[in-house]
Chain A
């Protein structure tokens, strides 16, 4: 990308950086318009639609530093609520080849979710959000499999919808089955888009299953009923044994699909977006030291668990998101002491560094500015 920018512009930009040190160009450009930033990534909402009562679908135009994403990846979306920046991960639902470079996020308002409820209620055309470069390894291989089974539940539809739309744009020659679970007919996301895609692409089949539909009206348009089962699988994609399966949804759905495919010896052909925490390594027996949360003045003995849990045990309510070291929502400054990263096992002894509370286990005395 940089190579395409004319040399003169690059020289001007570096002169501007020399003049605007130490704050940098973005801190001045944003005073004119928050979307003019060059280094930071932001996105402005260009369209808002509500497919169902508890979701909102945002079309977002990213600022110039955005480098595009791969279908299935997620981005960190930040929004300021009551003066505090909150960050959550959302997977774009559009094709990675979308010609205008815009992103589409479909966000379900979780009754307990601060950010999702805020966006559901307040996002409108012109709202500016913080974005990150995309992340995540839940993606299709470069060489697309000839048979693809995409399974999703609820708002877990977004990364697999992105895969479907991407392969449709690529005129995927093989077969794709899109098996989607929703509570009732009123909760189906992307119904029209799925209908249109199946019409235009003969290899694509969409199968809708409703788990909680009781009345006739809530069952309209259903292909299958009830929760995921072996029967659903064979009805939707009889060739599932020779397919690569991509799965994203609530934990019970993830568990039952995984169980079934593993029993068939197909564990290696199953790819999942893990929004459930991996096992963290920590030891609660030999824990030593005192933990101090300086900002709130709380001090307690180290129990050996990750700092987020210890803070919660002590009655504090630190902000958090994924609880697995992805979303950076629980990032705080550690002012002193040593912590172990429960995912990697790495030790961090530096003073005044940012740590993620959810995956940091104190080793001895630790003070956190929280």
Chain B
């Protein structure tokens, strides 16, 4: 029994897919000046915060200036990573034809080259969302995040590895594209990584040079304070991005799928898988912006190339469609979703949790209905 095949009849799945397509068409037809003004405004705020943060760190000997500088730089890095970088690299603004908003040309303030990430994220993760052995974002090839992943003593370290990933998230994202896990499995050789690795070295040295060498040196005697400030801003962004992203696919009740059940998937089934495999986070407007609107992970996975500011606007409709077809719509507060993810990370470190596959939410809903 799986959630994917048994939830809807073929007629239902077709009608459901059509409704999603129509919703998509409506938004695409409505894209225009407002969307461009929005992202330009966010970019402007990010650049101003960045300049303010860097500037304040020149007065880093004065503690309030240091704190304010680090705060401004952290917010700048978060905006650059999420609402700007992630979303532009998805091609959400490609229709504007502005090279500065082009998924092919944009580069973000992260050590991982945008180019490498775009392939692994947009293509592998968004196409094969939550399909075991296909979607490399399930546990990033390092963690046990799904009960169907076979236990190994290595996974006793699950919580420790997760903490490491959280702290060094930008480095984890970069190294993810080397596909170590696939090299270990023999699906890839070390020499295959040459090209991506060369790009990583180039990009990472520029990033490190800027944050940990040139800016600190420019501030002269307070260089160590500047270095620590920049490191703190990177760390803040790492922890924040990690939290938002892990809440997108790993809270309890988010489903994963086997390759067999997703063979010859129709458009409607693909939409369905995106809904079952994603979870939202509730919050206010500012929170949504700071999360790059990935707090609407469900809407993002349905329509990854539509400007993210549209997700909150359509969330009500998506949810209504889910209710109409009796589909779950996983959402909760940040603290609720985070603790759900944390519990999963700890539980799956243990050999007796998981295997065989946990029942899908279909079973859960049946039990609920019966009770």
Contacts and interface: CB of A to CB of B under 8 A. Distances in A.
A302 B209 CA distance: 49
Interface in A298-337: 319, 331-333, 335
A27 B104 contact: no
A369 B123 CA distance: 13
A18 B210 contact: yes
Contacts of B44: 31
Contacts of A83: 31-37, 96
Contacts of B118: 352
Interface residues of A, number: 30
9 tightest Cβ-Cβ pairs between the two chains A and B: A83-B36, A22-B107, A85-B97, A83-B33, A21-B206, A83-B32, A82-B32, A85-B98, A82-B33
The main secondary structure of chain B at its interface with chain A is: helix
A283 interface: no
Contacts of A86: 97
Interface in A86-119: 86-87
Contact of B305 (A23, A84, A295, A354): A295
A297 B31 contact: no
B24 A351 contact: no
Given A83-B33, A83-B35, A335-B123, 5 more contacts: A19-B210, A31-B44, A295-B95, A351-B119, A353-B104
Nearest to A21: B206
Interface in A14-31: 15, 18-19, 21-23, 27-28, 31
B28 A369 contact: no
What range describes how many residues of B lie at the interface? Answer: 35 or more
Contacts of B218: 19
A294 B305 contact: yes
Interface string B212-225: 00110010000000
Nearest to B20: A297
A80 interface: yes
Contacts of B36: 80, 83
B214 A19 contact: yes
A344 interface: no
A354 B218 CA distance: 39
Interface in A46-95: 80, 82-87
A353 B214 CA distance: 34
20 contacts: A18-B210, A18-B214, A19-B215, A21-B209, A21-B210, A22-B203, A23-B107, A27-B43, A80-B98, A82-B33, A84-B95, A84-B97, A85-B97, A295-B95, A296-B28, A297-B21, A333-B91, A351-B119, A353-B104, A369-B305
